[in-house]
Structure 1
Amino acid sequence: MDARATPPLDPHSRAWALATAGLALLPLLLLLPPVLGLGFGLAAAAVAALAWRRPRPGWLRLLLTLAMLAAVFAAMGARPGRDTGCALLAAMLAIKPAETRGLRDARSLLGFALFAPFAGFLLDQGPLTMVLALAAALTALLTLQRLADAEAGVAPPPLRRHLATTARLVGLGLPLTLAAFWLFPRLATPLWGVPERALARPGLSDRMSPGGWLDLMADDRPALRAQFFGPMPGPEQMYWRGPVLWHYDGRTWTRPPWLRGLPPAQVRLADAGWDYEIELEPADNRHLVALDLPEAAPAGARLGGDGSLTAQRPLASPSRWRLRSAPPVAFEPTLRPRLRQQALQLPPERNPRTLALARQWRQQAGGDDRAIIGRALGWTRAEFAYTLDTPLPGRDAVDEFLFQTRAGYCEHFASAFTVLMRAAGIPARVVTGYTGGYRNPFGGYWVVRRMDAHAWVEVWLDGQGWVRVDPTAAVAPERIYDTLEQRAAGAGGQAPLRLDTLGDFADWLRRGWNDLVLGFDAARQQAMLRTLGLERASPAQLLALFAALAALAVAAMVWRLARGERERDPLLRAWRRLGRRYEKLGLGRAPPEPALAWAQRVAAARPGSGQALLILSQRFVAARYARASQTPRQLLRDLARHRP
C-alpha cells in the first residue's frame, strides 16, 4: 500500500508511538550485554530524532542494519542462541522508527515493538521484566486508542478517560488469564525446544582455568537462597559443594567424564546435621550445590561418587531442592586404586621446583601426611598474600605462584596446594562451589552470591578418607591486599559490597515472585486443587475445569462488550425500559425513529398518556443531547413511574 493512502502522523501521535516503542524495547535492552544494550538504545534515540520530520533514505537504513548486525556478531559470535535472537530483534526495532510515516506505520511499529518485552522472557523471568512488559502493553493500548481517534479526525479525550477504557479492557481479560495460569495442565517438558544462550551466564563449571573465575567473582547477583529448618551451620561450615575436579593438564582442572558414572562413595556422617531448602537461580548447566556433605540426592538429581550433585535436566529456570547435610566423619576411607591413581595424577615435565620441594618434605616427614599438610598451610600463612591483581601464568604455573608471585586468589591457592600434595604422594582433588553467605533480615533466609564462588582442596588421609583443607583461608589477614569488596567500595575501601536494606527488600520480593509465580508447577497446582476438594486431578479433569471457567470468562467478556459504552448511561437504560412498555401495546419505537417523533405519534394515537410521554421525551432529549444543566435524577424517577 502506498504510504500516501494512510493519514499522516500528527506530532502528538508520533510522540506517543515512539515513546511506547522505546518503553517496549527497554526490558530487552536491560537484558543484553551492556555494550549492546547501551549502543542499541542510543541508536534508537538517534533514529527517532532524525526521522521525526521525514523518513530517512533506504541506504542509511541499510547501513545502520549492517552496522548493528556486525555489532551483534562481534559481541556474541556466529553461534545462534536465545540472546543472539533477542539482540537481532532489538537491533531491528531500533531502526524501525526510520520508516514511520503515517498511522499505518505507527500501528506496525507498535505491533513489532510488543515482541520485545515478551522476547525478554527468554532471557529473564523476573518481576522487573514482567512489570516493564505489562507497562509496555498497557501503554500500547493507550497509543492505539489515540491513533484511532486521530484516524477518525476527532479530538482525543482526556488521558483519564483513556486510562479508564484501558483498565476496563484489562479487566475483561483478567479472569481468562487467571484461569489459564491456575488450571491449565502443567507440562513436565516444553512443547518445543528453545536454543541455549550464545553467551554463557557466569556460574560454576566442571573446569577451572587461570583467570576464568574473575567474571564469576565480580558478579554480586544471588546464586542461591537457603532456608534452614532447625539448626543452622556456623560460618566455618558454610561450604556449598559443587563440581569436584580431578584431572590437571598443567593449566586447567577438569572432571573426567568416566567419574560421573561412579556410585556414591562410602560415607559416615555426623549425627547432627542440617535440614534446609535451596532455591537456585537459573544457570546454563546441571550443577547442584549442597552443604558439605549431602546425605542423599533429592528427587530429580543424582549424587556422584565424589559427593557432588547433578540435576537430571538443565537448570534453566529457578528451582527448589529440599536437602539434608551433615559433616563427614569418614568420607571414602577405602580409596579404590583407579581413584588413587587419578588423585595423584600430574602432567609430566611441569613445575619441577614444586616437585623437588614436595619430595624434600616427604623425606623429612616420612610417612606423616598430616605434617606435610600442616607445613604447607604454615608456609601459606607466613609468606603468601591474597589479591585479585595477578598476571596470567606461564608454562609452570604452580612454580610461578609458589616461588615468584606468592599472591593470588582461591583458584591459585587450591590449584597449587593440590599439585604440592600430589607431588608429595598425598591423594588430593579440587572442590569448587561457594562459601559463606549472609542472612536477609526480611525473609530470614540466607543469600549466597555468585561472587562467593570458591575453590578448596580435599586430601585423602588413611583411616579418615577425604578431608577438607582450605589453603586460601590460611592467608594472614594483614596480607589480604585486594578483594572484590574493596574494589566495589572504591579507592578508600570503606564498606564491603553487600546488599543494603533496599537491596535486601528487593531480593525478598524476587524470592516471593519465584515462589508464587515461577515456582507454580504441577505439584503446587495439585496442592491448590486439593484445597478445593479435588484430591488428584488428571490432565483431562484439569482441561475440563479450565474449559468451563474459560467459557464463563469469555461469556462474561462478550456480554460486557455487547452492552457497549452507551449501555452504561442510566438515563438511556430508563428510556429504553419505557419504550418496552409501549411495545406491549403495539406502539413501540422503530430503531431509526427519533424520540420526539415517536412521542408525537403515540400522542396522536393515545391523547391521554401520549401528552405525558411527549413531555417526558422533550425532557429526555434536553438532558441527553442538549446537555441541559438540570439534574436527570428527577427525570429518572419520572421515566420509571410513567405507565401507558
Structure 2
Amino acid sequence: MTEPRLRRDQSGWLLASTTLTLAPHAEHLPLALGALCALLLLWRGILAHTGRALPHRLLLLALAAGIVAIVQIEFKHLFGKDPGIALLAGLLSLKLLETDSVRDGRAVVLLSFFMQLGQFLYQQNMAIAALALLGSVAAIASLLALQGSVTAPRLRAGAATRLVLQGVPLMLVLFVLFPRVQGPLWGLPADAYSSVTGLSNSMAPGDMARLSESSEIAFRAAFEGDLPPPAERYWRGPVLSRFDGHTWRPGRTHATDAPAYRSQGIAHSYTLTLEPHNQSWLLALDFPGSVPGLIYTDNFQLLSREPVRSRQRLTLVSYPHTPVGLDESPNILRQALDLPAGFNPRTRELGARLHAEANGADDIVTRTIAHFRNSRLRYTLDPAPLGRDDVDSFLFDTQQGFCEHFSAAFVVTLRAAGVPARVVTGYQGGEFNPVDGTLVIRQSDAHAWTEVWLAGQGWVRIDPTAASAPLRIQNGLAAAMPDSAHLPLLARTDLAWLRDLRNRLDALDNSWNQWVLGYNPARQKALLAALGFAEPDWQVLTALMGAASAIVMGLLTIWALRRRSSADAIDRSWTRFCRRLKTIGYERATWEGPLDFAERLARQRPDLADTVRRIASDYARLRYGPADADPALGQRFHQSIKNFRPR
C-alpha cells in the first residue's frame, strides 16, 4: 500500500519543529555546518510553499557526504558528543529534503525528539528547558498533523500543549522517584567537561583580563546575617609561588583533613553554590573552618577530594581575621623568594634600592605600595603588549595593566627586596541580588592579589590593584573601568533597568538550580526518608514509582472520562434548543432525527421554519459531519440557540 504524501500543512509543521529543535544547537555547530543546515531548511520551506518536487537522491547523497566531511574536518573524528550532535543536526536537516510521506515524517519527529534531548548534553539551565519544551510541543503538533486532517495552526498547537500538560503529573513522579545520577549527562572523558570556564592553575599576562570579559556566574553565596564588607570579599583560589619569568604556577603543597590554623575573630556563615569548573578548588572566603570531607592545604586553599564537575552546595564558616602562617616552614619561605635569573633587571634594581632605603620588611612593603601609587599605573582590560621582561615593561614602559600585571609586579619587587611574597588568584567582590538575597560572583570578578610574609604577622593579604584602582575593590570591575572600557553587557552598572532584569533572571535561575538541578541523590534520599523510607533500594523505588504512576494514570483516566468535549458542548446546546421548544408545546420524539423534527415543526409553526431548519441543519453538520468543519459554523450554531426565544 502506497504511503500518503505530505500535505502542505504537514510539511510546515515538520519544518517548524525541526527549526525549533536545531536553533539552540546553532552556537555549538561549526559555522560551515550551521550555515548549511539553515540553507537546507530554507530550501525545504521553498519547496513546500511552491509544491515543487524534492531533489534527486544522488544530490542528497552528495550533500550527506559533504556533511560528514565538514564534521570530520572540524573535529578530526566522528565519535563523541560534539561531532555526534553536529552530524545528527546536519542529517536531520537533510532528512527533510527527502521527506514526502507520513512515514518519513514520523522519522523526522523522532529525530527531533532526540536532538531536543541533546541540548541538555551542553547545558541544563532553565532557558534550555524552555526551548526543549517549545520544540517538544511543535514535534507533538507535527505528529497530530500527520495523523489528522487540516486544522488551524492555533488549534493544533493548543491540542499539542494539552497533551504535554497531561504528561506533567507523570513527569513529576519520575522526577521525584527515579534514581538520581550524579554528574554530567555526558560521560566520555575526552569532552565531558570541555565547555567549562573559570580560573586556571597558572597565570600569565592577559589571562585574568580575558576571563573578566565573561559574565558567566562562577558561584553564589547566601550569607546568614550581614554581608562581609567589600574589603573582605576575597574568594581564594590557586596560590601561585613559582615564577619562570613569564608564567606563575603553584608551588609544592601539603594537604590535610583539617586547617593548619586556629580560627578566631569575626565569623561569616554562608552557603556556597559553586558552578562546575572541573578543578578541585572550592573558592571559599579566607579562612574557612573545619568541614569533614574537605581538604586543607598549607597555602590555605580549600579543596574538594574530586574535581567539581557538577553544581555543589557547601555550608561554610570563614574567619577572615585569623592569623595564618606565623610559623611558616623555611622551604615555603625560600620558594616565596625565588626569582628566575636573567629576567626583569629594572624591577630587581628597584627592589634592591627599596631594600637599602627601608627599615625592615614592613617599611619595604609600605614603600613599594607608595611607588606603585606614585607611578600612576593605569588599570585597564586592554593593556599594551609587553616585551620579554613582562614586569619591567609594565612598571617602567606601558604602565597599564590588569590585576595580574599589578600582582606579578608587586611580588617580583618584594622578592627582589628580600620579602617573601606570592600571588593568589580567585575572585573579589560580587554583586548582591536583592531579589533572592544572594551574592552573585561572576567570571568578570576574577582577580589576582598578593600575600606577603611578615615576621610576627604571618601571611598578610595586600592587594596592589587597590593602590591604583581602589574602586575595583569597593564597587567592582565596572566602577574601576573608564567609560570607554569594553565590558560584558551584564557587568555594566549604568543601566538600572538592565541590572534589575538581570537580578530577577538570576534569582529565577538560582531557584531552578536549587530545586530542579539541585535535586541530587542526597536530596532524594532526604525526601524519601521524610516519607518513611529511610534506606530505599531499587525494589522499593520501583514499587513507589509503579504505585504513583498507577495513581496518576487512574486520575487522568477519570478526568478524561468526565471531560466535556466539543461534541458535548454541541449536544448541550441542542438539548437546550429542544427544551425551549418543549416549553411551548413542541416536544421532539425520541426516534425523531434533527432534520425530521425541524420539518415537522416548520409545518406546525411556519413563523419559526427558517430558524429551526437552519439550527437543525447546523447541528447535523456539526454532530455527524467531517471533524474539520468550519469553526465559524459552530460559533453560529451556539449563538443562534442562545438567541432563540420561541413563544
Contact 1:566 1:572 in 2 (8 A): no
Range 282-291 or range 61-70, more displaced = 61-70
Other structure's SS at 1:466 match: strand
User: What whole-Å deviation, never above 9, does each CA across 1:13-68 have from its counterpart, x for those lacking one?
Assistant: 212111110011122225x2795796466445444356543434566656655666
Pick aligned residue for 2:44 from 48, 51, 65? 48
Instruction: Indicate the residue corresponding to 2:89 in structure 1.
Output: 90
State the match for 1:193 in structure 2: 187
Distance 1:437 1:74, change over 3 A: farther
Equivalent position amino acid for 1:13 in 2: Q
Counterpart amino acid of residue 371 in structure 2 = W
The aligned runs of 1:287-302 (5 Å cut-off) are 287-297=281-291, 301-302=294-295
- CA shift for structure 1 position 128: 0.8
CA separation in 1, counterparts of 2:78 and 2:345? 41
Are the structure 2 counterparts of residues 62 and 183 from structure 1 closer, same or farther at C-alpha, using a change threshold of 3 Å?
A: same
Residue of structure 2 equivalent to 1:22: 19
Name 2:220's counterpart in structure 1. Answer: 225
Matched, 1:116 2:115: yes
Q: Which moved more, 1:55-64 or 1:395-404?
A: 55-64
* Alignment-derived partner of residue 374 in structure 2: 382
Which of 575, 581, 590 aligns to 1:616? It is 590
For 1:369, give the aligned amino acid: A
Q: 1:465 to 1:481 in 2, by over 3 A?
A: closer
For 1:413, the equivalent position in structure 2 comes to 406
The 5-angstrom pairing of residues 88-487 of structure 1 reads 88-149=87-148, 155-159=149-153, 161-163=155-157, 165-188=159-182, 193-195=187-189, 196-197=191-192, 199-256=194-251, 258-259=252-253, 261=255, 266-297=260-291, 301-365=294-358, 368-383=360-375, 384-475=377-468, 482=481, 486-487=485-486
* Whole-angstrom CA distance in 1 between matches of 2:138 and 2:405: 52
Report the counterpart of residue 612 of structure 2 in structure 1: none
Instruction: Return closer, same or farther for 1:425/1:88 CA change in 2, 3 Å cut-off.
Output: farther
- Aligned pairs (5 A) from 1:57-72: 57=56
Give the SS at the match of 2:450.
Answer: strand
Is residue 273–residue 313 contact of structure 2 (8 Å, CA) maintained in 1? yes
For residues 484 and 288 of structure 2, the distance between their equivalents in structure 1, rounded to whole angstroms, comes to 30
Deviation at 1:126, TM superposition (A): 0.6
Aligned 1:497-508 pairs, distance under 5 A: 499-508=498-507
Q: 1:427 to 1:54 in 2, by over 3 A?
A: farther
Separation in structure 2 between the aligned mates of residue 112 and residue 294 of structure 1, nearest angstrom: 49
Query: What is the TM-score normalised by the length of structure 1?
Result: 0.79
2: distance between equivalents of 1:463 and 1:144? Answer: 76
Q: What residue number does 1:6 align with?
A: 3
Which letter maps to 1:616?
Answer: T
Q: 1:420 to 1:82 in 2, by over 3 A?
A: farther
Q: Given residue 137 of structure 2, which amino acid in structure 1 is its aligned partner?
A: L
Partner letter of residue 14 of structure 2? A
State how far apart, in whole Å, the 2-side matches of 1:325 and 1:478 are: 24
Q: Which moved more, 1:408-417 or 1:178-187?
A: 178-187
What do residues 115-160 of structure 1 show as CA deviations (whole Å, max 9, x unaligned)? 22211111111111111101111111111111122xxxxx324445
User: What are the superposed Cα offsets for residues 368-403 of structure 1, whole Å, 9 maximum, x if unpaired?
Assistant: 111111111111111111112224433221121122
Distance 1:171 1:343, change over 3 A: same
* Aligned-residue offset at 1:274: 0.4
Tell me the CA shift for residue 74 of structure 1.
Answer: 7.0
Deviations 1:472-502 (A, max 9, x none): 1110579998569832499xx9927995211
CA distance in 2, matches of 1:478, 1:436: 11
CA distance in 2 between partners of 1:418 and 1:264 (Å) = 28
Q: 2:459 is paired with a residue of what secondary structure?
A: strand
Q: For structure 1, which segment, 476-485 or 315-324, has the greater mean C-alpha deviation from structure 2 after superposition?
A: 476-485
- The equivalent residue for 1:524 is 523
Q: Which amino acid aligns with 1:28?
A: H
Find the aligned partners of 1:630 and 1:96 in 2 and give their Cα distance.
39
Q: Compute the RMSD of aligned alpha carbons.
A: 3.9
When the two structures are aligned, how many residues end up with a matched partner? 578
With over 3 angstroms needed to count, the CA separation of the structure-2 counterparts of 1:327 and 1:552, relative to structure 1, is same
In terms of mean alpha carbon deviation, does 60-69 or 476-485 score higher? 476-485
For residues 236-262 of structure 1, what are the alpha-carbon distances to aligned partners after superposition, in whole Å with 9 as ceiling and x for unaligned?
A: 111111111122122211224x42646
**Superposition deviation, residue 555 in structure 1:** 5.6
Aligned pair in 2 of structure 1 residues 181, 445: CA closer, same or farther (>3 Å)?
Answer: same
Question: How much does 1:569 deviate?
Answer: 5.4
Structure 1 residues 536-592: Cα deviation after superposition (integer angstroms, max 9, x where no partner) = 54554333222222344456667888999999859999xxxxxxxxxxxxxxxxxxx
Work out the CA distance in 1 between the residues paired with 2:147 and 2:167.
21
Cα contact 1:438–1:446 (8 A) shared by 2: yes
CA distance in 1, matches of 2:471, 2:543: 68
**TM-score, normalising length from structure 2?**
0.78
Contact 2:382 2:401 in 1 (8 A): yes
> Could you tell which deviates more after superposition, 532-541 or 302-311?
532-541
Give the whole-Å Cα distance in 2 for the aligned partners of 1:485 and 1:535: 59
Distance 1:543 1:631 in 2: 45
Structure 2 CA distance, aligned partners of 1:478 and 1:443? 25
Shift in Å, 1:322 = 0.8
Matches within 5 A, 1:574-585: none
* In 2: Cα distance, 1:212 partner to 1:175 partner: 48
Deviation at 1:461, TM superposition (A): 1.0
| Separation in structure 1 between the aligned mates of residue 622 and residue 93 of structure 2, nearest angstrom | 54
Q: Tell me, in whole angstroms, the C-alpha distance in 1 between the residues paired with 2:404 and 2:559.
A: 65
In structure 2, relative to structure 1, the CA distance for the partners of 1:200 and 1:416 (3 Å cut) is farther
CA distance in 1, matches of 2:366, 2:234: 21
Q: Could you tell me which amino acid in structure 2 is paired with residue 507 of structure 1?
A: D
Q: Label 1:503 to 1:470 Cα distance change in 2 as closer, same or farther (>3 A).
A: same
The structure-2 alpha-carbon separation of the partners of 1:81 and 1:414, relative to structure 1 and needing over 3 Å to count, comes to farther
In 2, the alpha carbon distance for the partners of 1:444 and 1:361 equals: 46
In 1, Cα distance between the equivalents of 2:111 and 2:293?
Answer: 39
Gaps of 5+ in 1: 150-154, 574-613, 633-644
Does the CA contact (< 8 Å) of 2:15 and 2:45 recur in 1?
A: no
Match of 1:605 in 2: none
SS in 1 for 2:137: helix
Change (3 A) 1:306 1:34: farther
Task: Give the 3 Å change call, closer, same or farther, for CA 559–452 of structure 1 in structure 2.
Answer: same
Contact 2:220 2:440 in 1 (8 A): yes
The aligned runs of 1:507-586 (5 Å cut-off) are 507-534=506-533, 537-554=536-553
- Contact 1:47/1:94 (<8 A) preserved: no
Residues 300 and 77 (structure 1), Cα distance of their counterparts in 2 relative to 1, 3 Å cut = farther
2:9–2:145 Cα contact (<8 Å) kept: no
How far apart are residue 212 of structure 1 and its match?
Answer: 2.4
Structure 1 window deviating more from structure 2 (262-271 vs 545-554): it is 262-271
**Matched-pair identity in %:** 35
Aligned-pair CA distance for 1:365:
2.1
CA contact (8 A) 2:178 2:545 kept: yes
> What SS is found at the alignment partner of 2:436?
coil
